[in-house]
Amino acid sequence: MTGLPYAPAGVSDVQRDYVVQVLSAAFATDRISMKLLDERLSAVFRAQSLGELEGLLSDPAEPNRSLVDEASVSRVVADPVIPARGAALALMGGFARNGSWIVPRHLRVVAVMGGGELDLRLAKLGAGVTEIEIFTVMGGVEVLVPAGVRVEVTGMAVMGGFSVSGAEATENPHAPVLRISGLAVMAGVEVRHKGQGKHGEKRYLQALERAQKLRLRSGG
């Protein structure tokens, strides 16, 4: 199984973008060369069937193996399977959300004299904007974000901190958007990219930039 997001019929932009993300992650970890990256990215925007897209995900070193790396790719899923709302609460305790999970369109997080971690590196996001609203008092919340996701932070802090680290902007206009807002009172909220390392993230973003140029040339 390649893990292509569901689409009602034909080949969707979400599925093409997913393959672009997989190929970019493979390039970032040296599993494919730049020449092969360009060849497969060009083929992504020419593909007219799911079979053609799936063929682009084969590992050149082991054709029967997929390039899909769950730890490197942000999974994009169709709207019907995404919960509208969700919540996470830590009251004088803690919570952790990690692994493969579907992030609601609007997630409310409350941490009072406690802490929590939202690990989105294996999470499934919807196309477009996902909102996370965080309220914490005398506590802390950490949000781990994979490469290829645009992050917008508008939170406020009183005697605390609301910070973003290691978050490099992606130029992919179809990238999922994570909009984080809220309030930290005598507490901290940290949002950071984590996964591929500085060198890997640079190569990942380079691959996404090449994909965008090819998309424009193809008229996609």
pLDDT at 1: 43
Count: domains in the chain:
2
Mean pLDDT (the chain) is 83
What average pLDDT does this structure show over 147-156? 84
Same domain, yes or no: 181 and 116: yes
Within a domain: 6: no
Does the structure show a pLDDT above 80 at 40? yes
pLDDT at 9: 59
Q: Minimal CA–CA distance to 182: which of 190, 172, 171, 173?
A: 190
Question: Residue 69 — left, alpha, or beta (φ > 0 → left; ψ -120 to 50 → alpha)?
Answer: beta
Same domain, yes or no: 80 and 151: yes
pLDDT at 215: 85
pLDDT at 71: 45
Does the structure show a pLDDT above 90 at 109? yes
State the Cα angle at 12 between 8 and 13, rounded to 5°. Answer: 150
Same domain, yes or no: 202 and 187: no
pLDDT at 208: 84
Rounded distance, CA 119 to CA 146, Å? 9
Rounded distance, CA 188 to CA 164, Å? 11
pTM of whole model > 0.75? no
pLDDT at 124: 84
Range of the domain at 44: 13-72+197-218
Does the structure show a pLDDT above 80 at 10? no
